[in-house]
Amino acid sequence: MARTAYLLATLPLWLWAGPAAADAAPCQELSKTVDLSSSPVDDRRVFCAYAKDLVVGACCQSDLHACLIAHPECPRAQVLARIGLDTIAGGAAEEKALAAASNYLGGLPWAKRAKIDLTGAPCRGAGPPTLVEFSDFDCPHCAYASTVLHDLVEKRPSLRFCVMAFPIHPHAELAAAAALFAARHGKYREMSRALYESQFGRVGLEEGPYVDQLVSVGHGVGLDAAALRAALKGGPELDLALAQRAQARALKLEGTPTFVLDGHVLELGVTQLGSAIDDEVAYRKAHPRP
């Protein structure tokens, strides 16, 4: 009996505590604040370290872990949590997640914001804030983002949302020009949706068939086919699409879709934008734009 008692006393704590303690998921105390249900145990362990090492500032002035418990509604905490989880989910170590958070925080000061010329860009909503999407109508990620963005904008009527062309795929500047032509005739939203829905039918086509498909799509949303075809041969819409692409390159953007919020270039996915917008609203209140 004495030997049995000795062996039990020297067992590791997690075995002594029983299966429930052994199987306890890391950062379980955050599960009511952050959705960790799809994160493997190893990812959760890295996220725990990230949350305890990252200082939030803003509404908390504490580490992210403490902020998520004490102030779960804090927009800054929510967007930093999302950045960490999404970065770690890609197999990154804590250092890369901390770097992504630092990049987000470093772009917040007004002096660091980019200036974007939105002349001619299709916009909706009054703002502030202003969310700009740099997109390519032949990009499948942009097609997915368009559905999420529609819901996001509908839920935030005060948000100003603008779209800038960043055509990367072959001939995609022509699709951008077709959308801008539609915008001039009050059909941008219809044409944008139709271009995304039809993108797989034109990707890889030579320029002639590519233009034919654009004209067909435009005719389907009520645009004058002959006028659209003429615009795609050269004119203000094509010039504007190329100028917008030049802005994207000047900003050193690397892909589509890329989002810029009040001049803050975001390295965030579309599902992270809601928290970033909430954080921007809070930031503007605390730091009025000069």
User: What are the structural domains of the chain?
Assistant: 23-106 (no CATH), 115-271 (3.40.30.10)
Q: Look at residue 24 in the predicted model and tell me its pLDDT.
A: 60
Cα diameter, the chain:
96
**Concatenated DSSP letters of 189-212:** HHHHHHHHHTGGGTTT--HHHHHH
pLDDT of residue 23: 43
Q: Over the chain, what is the mean pLDDT?
A: 90
**pTM of the predicted model as reported, rounded to 2 decimal places:** 0.87
- In angstroms, the Cα distances linking 257 to 73, 77, 141, 254 are 28, 24, 7, 9
User: What per-residue confidence (pLDDT) applies to 59?
Assistant: 82
DSSP code at position 63: B
Q: What is the pLDDT of residue 8?
A: 42
130 contact partners, CB below 8 Å, separation of at least 6: 118, 123, 159, 160, 161, 162, 261, 262
70-128 pLDDT per residue, tens: 999 899 999 999 999 999 998 999 999 999 999 999 999 999 999 999 999 999 998 99
Orientation angle between helical segments 188-197 and 172-184, nearest 10 degrees:
150
Which residues of the chain are under the pLDDT cut of 50?
1-23
Q: Return the sign of the alpha-carbon dihedral for residues 96, 101, 104, 105.
A: negative
The answer to whether the CB of 135 falls within 8 A of the CB of 257 is: yes
Task: Give the pLDDT confidence score for residue 60 in this predicted structure.
Answer: 84
Query: How far from 184 is each of 29, 144, 188, 191, 237, CA to CA, in Å?
Result: 53, 25, 8, 11, 9
Question: Which pLDDT does position 13 carry in this prediction?
Answer: 40
Tell me what pLDDT residue 237 has.
97
**Residue 214 to residue 229: CA distance in whole angstroms:** 8
